[in-house]
Amino acid sequence: MAEEVLRLEGITKIYPNGFMANKDISFSIGANEIHALVGENGAGKTTLMKILFGMEDCQEGKIYINGQEAKIENPLDAIAKGIGMVHQHFMLLPSLTVAENVTLGVEPMKNGLFDYQGAVKKTQEIADKYNFKVDATSKVKDLSVGQMQKVEILKALVKGARILILDEPTAVLTPQETEELFEQLFALRDSGVSIIFISHKLEEVMHICSKVTVLRRGQCMGTYDTKDLDESKISRLMVGRDVILKFEKEDPKIAQNVLEIKDLVRINSFGKHVIDGVTFNVRSGEVVGIAGVEGNGQSELSEVIAGLEGFAEGDIILNGKSIKGMSVRQIRDNGLAYIAEDRMVEGVAGDMSIKMNIMADRFDKKEYKNGLFVNDKKINEEVEKHIKDFEIMCDGPDQPVRMLSGGNVQKVVVAREFTSGANFILANQPTRGIDVGTAEMIRKTIVRKSREEGTATILISADLNEVLECSDRLLVMRKGKVVAAFPKANEVSEEELGEYMLGLKQMSDKQMEGLL
Partner 1 sequence: MKGSRKTQLIESIMEVVRIVAGMAIAYGVALLILFLISDDPAFIIKQFILGPFSSPRRIGSIINLAVPFIICGISMCFMYAVNKFNLIGESIFMLAGCIITFVGVKIGNSLPMIVMVPLLLIIGAIVGVVLAFIPAIMDRKLNANVVVVSLMLNSVVAQLAIWILRYHMRDTTIGYTASEIIPESMQLPNIFGSLKIGSGIIIALILVVIASILFFKTSFGWKMRLVGANPRFAKAVGFSTLGISFAAQLLGGAIAGIGGATEIMNSYKRYLWMATTGHGFDGLLVAVLAKKNPILVPIGALFLAYIRIGADVVNTSGDIPYEFITVIQGIIILLVAAESFLSGTKNKLIFREVQKEEEKKKALQAKEEAK
Distance CA 375, CA 152 (A): 54
DSSP string computed for 296-310: SSHHHHHHHHTTSS-
**Quick one: 352 or 507, whose CB is closer to partner 1?**
352
State how far the Cα of 487 lies from the Cα of 474, in Å rounded to an integer: 7
Residue 313 binds to partner 1 (criterion: CB under 8 A): no
- Residues in the interface with partner 1 (CB under 8 A) total 47
Nearer to partner 1 (CB atom), residue 100 or residue 435 = 435
| Choices 144-152, 188-196, 326-334, 501-509; region in contact with partner 1 by CB under 8 A | 326-334
Q: Does 20 bind partner 1 (CB under 8 A)?
A: yes
**CB of 272 or CB of 329, closer to partner 1:** 329
Q: Cβ of residue 307: shortest distance to partner 1, in angstroms?
A: 8
**Stretch (H or E) spanning 429:** none
- Please state the closest distance from residue 408 (CB atom) to partner 1, in A: 7
Q: In the complex, what is the shortest distance from the CB of residue 278 to partner 1, in angstroms, rounded to a whole number?
A: 21
Who contacts 251 (Cβ-Cβ below 8 Å, separation ≥6)?
A: none
Determine if 232 is a binding residue for partner 1 (CB under 8 A).
no
**Is 214 in a helix, a strand, or coil?**
strand
Out of 4, 9, 10, 14, point to the residue binding partner 1 (CB under 8 A). 14
Residue 74 as a binder of partner 1 (CB under 8 A): the answer is no
| 54 is a contact residue toward partner 1 (CB under 8 A) | no
Of 253 and 329, the one with the shorter C-beta distance to partner 1 is 329
Residues 6+ apart with CB under 8 A from 70: 63, 64, 81
Near partner 1 in 405-434, by CB under 8 A: 405, 408, 416
Q: Binders of partner 1 among 249-278, rule CB under 8 A?
A: none
From 61-69, 146-154, 204-212, 354-362, give the range in contact with partner 1 by CB under 8 A: 354-362
In 449-493, at which residue ranges do the beta strands (DSSP E only) sit? 456-460, 473-478, 481-486
How many CB atoms are closer than 10 A to CB 250?
Answer: 10
Is residue 361 at the binding interface for partner 1, with CB under 8 A as the rule? yes
Per CB under 8 A, does 364 bind partner 1? yes
Q: Which stretch binds partner 1 (CB under 8 A): 142-150, 184-192, 361-369, 496-504?
A: 361-369
Residues 172, 306, 459, 512: which binds partner 1 (CB under 8 A)?
A: 306
Please answer whether residues 457 and 424 qualify as being in contact, where contact means their C-beta atoms are separated by less than 8 angstroms: yes
Contact 165, 196 (CB under 8 A): yes
Residues 367, 256: Cα–Cα separation, whole Å = 30
Long-range contact pairs involving 446-452 (C-beta distance under 8 Å, separation at least 24): 446/287, 446/470, 447/247, 447/249, 447/287, 449/418, 449/425, 450/252, 450/285, 450/286, 450/287, 451/249, 451/250, 451/252, 451/253, 451/285
Q: Is 168 in contact with 88 (CB distance < 8 Å)?
A: yes
Give the neighbor-by-neighbor strand order of the sheet with 211-216.
Answer: 68-70, 60-65, 4-14, 20-30, 219-225, 211-216, 34-38, 194-199, 163-167, 83-86
- Give Cα separations from 231 to 68, 216, 424 (angstroms): 35, 16, 37
Query: Residue 99 — φ and ψ, nearest 5°?
Result: -60, -40
Whichever of 309 and 496 has its CB closer to partner 1, that residue is 309
Q: From the list 80, 244, 312, 345, which residue makes contact with partner 1 (rule: CB under 8 A)?
A: 345
C-beta closer to partner 1: residue 173 or 331: 331
- Using the minimum distance from each CB to partner 1, give the nearer residue, 28 or 375: 375
Q: How far is the CB of 444 from partner 1 (least distance, A)?
A: 20
Q: Which residues from 366-405 bind partner 1, rule CB under 8 A?
A: 368-369, 372-374, 376, 393-396, 399, 403-405
The conformation of residue 284, written as its DSSP 8-state character, comes to T
Q: Which is nearer to partner 1, 109 or 308 (CB)?
A: 308
Q: How far is the CB of 400 from partner 1 (least distance, A)?
A: 8
Out of 126, 352, 515, 516, point to the residue binding partner 1 (CB under 8 A): 352
Provide the minimum distance between the beta carbon of 291 and partner 1 in the complex, in angstroms, as a whole number: 24
Q: Indicate the residue among 292 and 400 with the shorter CB distance to partner 1.
A: 400
279: contact with partner 1 by CB under 8 A: no
Among 347, 397, 430, 454, binds partner 1 (CB under 8 A): 347
What's the angle, vertex CA 213, arms to CA 189 and CA 88, rounded to 5?
70
HEC string for 402-425: HHCCHHHHHHHHHHHHCCCCCCEE
Pick the closer one to partner 1 by CB: 4 or 24: 24
Which is it for strands 287-291 and 456-460: parallel, antiparallel or unpaired? parallel
10 Å CB burial of residue 105 (0-12, 13-18, 19+) is: exposed
Is residue 318 within 8 A of residue 487, CB to CB? The reply is no
| Interface residues toward partner 1, by CB under 8 A | 14, 16-20, 23, 59, 306, 308, 327-329, 331-333, 338, 340, 345-352, 356, 360-361, 363-364, 368-369, 372-374, 376, 393-396, 399, 403-405, 408, 416
